[in-house]
Amino acid sequence: MVSPVAARADGEAIRAALATIPDPELPVVTIEELGILGHVARDGPRVRVELHPTFVACPATELIRDAVVARVAALVPGVAADVAFVYDPPWSTDRISDRGRERLAAAGIAPPGPATGLVTLDQPVACPFCGSRRTRLENAFGPTPCRAIRWCPDCRQPFEQLKAL
Alpha carbons 20 and 24: distance in angstroms, whole number = 12
The whole-number pLDDT of residue 8 equals: 58
Q: For residue 137, what are the β-bridge partners? A: 150
Low-confidence ranges of the chain (pLDDT < 50): 1-5
Task: State the burial class of residue 25 (Cβ atoms within 10 Å of its Cβ: 0-12, 13-18, 19+).
Answer: middle
Q: What is the pLDDT of residues 20-36, one digit of tens each?
A: 999 999 999 999 999 99
- pLDDT of amino acid 95: 95
User: What pLDDT sits at residue 27?
Assistant: 96
Report pLDDT for 7: 52
Q: For residues 130 and 154, what is the distance between their CA atoms, to the nearest angstrom?
A: 8
pLDDT of res. 119? 65
Type of residue at 108: G
